[in-house]
Structure 1
Amino acid sequence: MKNKLFYSVIALIVLASAVFWGYMFQSTEAEQPESETPDYFDGSFELTMYHAEGCECCVEWAKYLENNGVDVTSELVEDLHEMKREKGVPGQLSSCHTAIADGYVIEGHVPIEDIRQLLAERPAVIGVSVPGMPPNSPGMDQPVENTYQSVIFDKENMYIYNTHN
């Protein structure tokens, strides 16, 4: 019971943070970094997801990716916050799992189309994030009306990448 309460409180904090930063990003009018479009990208890729034990939405996100043709390797880590720090994920973009696909960081419940777009465009960024845990994002699958954004980021900047309903 204590574990459920703990994860519920953490989820609410992360969600509130995501809403706050979502409003902050909406006012960002910066130009996105240039892309290096490869000659060929067929939309297929492999991904390694790092997550803590007991996080069921991480498992659901991995299933969602696998149902969309992605080869997912799942690895449990003891200190996910340390991994996020090492991979360059800003705290305000944090979510419940961190993944790596072709050298890019994929943070949180990022939709497949955003990952494929990132891998096809190859912008000069660290990765893409869906901050927090939006209830209607892949793997969360709550039937609520909610708009959320994916954000690409590098060491100094964050840019809205896509908006999802």
Structure 2
Amino acid sequence: MVGRRSALRLALAAMVTLGLARTARAAPAVKVEVWKDPSCGCCEGWVRHMRDAGFNVTVREVADVRPVKAASGVPEALWSCHTAVVDGYVVEGHVPAADVRRLLAERPRAKGLSAPGMPPSSPGMDIQGTPYEVVAFGAPEADWVWARH
């Protein structure tokens, strides 16, 4: 009888584990909406980076991204080549997927994150060796360095 109970417990544990694994896999990917110039290759590199990280990315190609940046409240000093919106936050430029995941987990009182300019070492640019910072902006208190890479 003990053997049967052990086998039953193992079978039940396997069923529960399998059910949890299916539930985890079925979780929808976080949606990212990106506005970019149609001819920008580095933006496509960042889109690939985000998709590879499991995000569900939709691309909106526009001739001029500046109005999107302005309407999204990105300070001009923090502009980059593309602008994205992720679960209510603005993500400006080549911000790493890990920083976006942290943003969504911590949910700070900020408008979003920016990798100002086009840092050569950032995702999509992929030229190693140049340190850069990701800035959290639009907080009531002040902007701050979110991450250093």
* TM-score normalised according to structure 2 size: 0.78
Opposite residue 150 of structure 1, the aligned amino acid is V
The alignment status of 1:47 with 2:41, answered yes or no, reads no
Deviations 1:106-145 (A, max 9, x none): 00000011100001111111000000111110000113x1
How many Å apart are 1:43 and its aligned residue?
Answer: 10
Q: 1:158, CA displacement in angstroms? A: 1.2
2:103 is aligned to 118
The residue aligned with 1:105 is 90
Q: Note if contact 1:43-1:120 (Cα within 8 Å) is conserved in structure 2.
A: no
Q: Pick from 57, 62, 87: which aligns with 1:77?
A: 62
Give the letter aligned to residue 124 of structure 1. R
Larger Rg: 2
Q: Return the offset for 1:150.
A: 0.4
Runs of 4 or more consecutive aligned structure 1 residues displaced over 4 Å after TM superposition: none
1:161 corresponds in structure 2 to 146
Q: CA offsets, 1:35-54, max 9 Å, x none?
A: xxxxxxx8941100100120
Query: RMSD across aligned C-alpha pairs, in angstroms?
Result: 1.6
CA apart distance, 1:56: 0.5
Contact 2:109 2:139 survives alignment (8 Å): no
Indicate the percent of aligned positions where both proteins have the same amino acid. 43
Q: In the alignment, does 2:46 pair up with 1:61?
A: yes
How many Å separate the matches in 1 of 2:97 and 2:44?
15
What is the 5 A alignment of 1:27-46?
44-46=29-31
Q: How many residues align?
A: 122
**Mapped partners of 2:28, 2:145: distance in 1:** 22
TM-score, normalised by the number of residues in structure 1: 0.70
Q: Distance in 1 between matches of 2:143 and 2:28?
A: 24
Task: Between the two structures, name the one with larger relative contact order (CA 8 Å, sep ≥ 6).
Answer: 1
In structure 1, what is the Cα distance between the partners aligned to 2:79 and 2:123?
Answer: 16
Q: In structure 2, what is the equivalent of residue 152 of structure 1?
A: 136
Amino acid at match of 1:74: V
Unmatched 5+ residue regions in structure 2?
A: 1-26
Looking at structure 2, the residues matched to 114 and 67 of structure 1 have their Cα atoms a distance apart, in angstroms, of 14
